Amino acid sequence: MSNTSIAGNTINFLFGVVVLAIGVVNMFWGNDFYFGIFLALLSLVYFLPVNTILRKIAGFSIPKIGLLKIALGLFIIWAALGVGELFNKIELMVMGL
């Protein structure tokens, strides 16, 4: 496995975990349960096993670091920070603990 492949897998995994965490925050704090589910499902794109399953079922896969994943990542960040009011929800989460 090359260094670029390891780096790509690591970046994908870390971003997938971050998006999954944002989805969980949106599901359980605030009133955006379905938006949280949407983000959690989008985070699956960034995990390697899902990409392998997609290749087996549909016959294609999304490149490790491709334009589609970068555009999707920018959309997720924009939606979570702007529309989803992530920082307000994190504040609600911390106050509830």
Domains in the chain, number:
1
The candidate with the shortest Cα–Cα distance to 47, out of 14, 2, 82, 92, is 14
pLDDT over 80 at 22, yes or no: yes
Binning pLDDT at 50, 70 and 90, where does residue 4 land? low
Q: What is the predicted pLDDT for the residue at 1?
A: 56
Residue 2, judged by CB atoms within 10 A of its CB (0-12, 13-18, 19+), counts as: exposed
Residues in Cβ contact with 86 at an 8 Å cutoff, skipping those fewer than 6 apart: 22, 25, 26, 80
Binning pLDDT at 50, 70 and 90, where does residue 17 land? very high
Show the domain range for 48. 3-96
Render 5-68 in DSSP notation, one character per residue: HHHHHHHHHHHHHHHHHHHHHHHHSSS-HHHHHHHHHHHGGGSHHHHHHHHHHHS----TT-HH
pLDDT digits (tens, 9 = 90+) for 44-87: 888 878 878 878 888 877 776 678 888 888 888 888 877 667 77
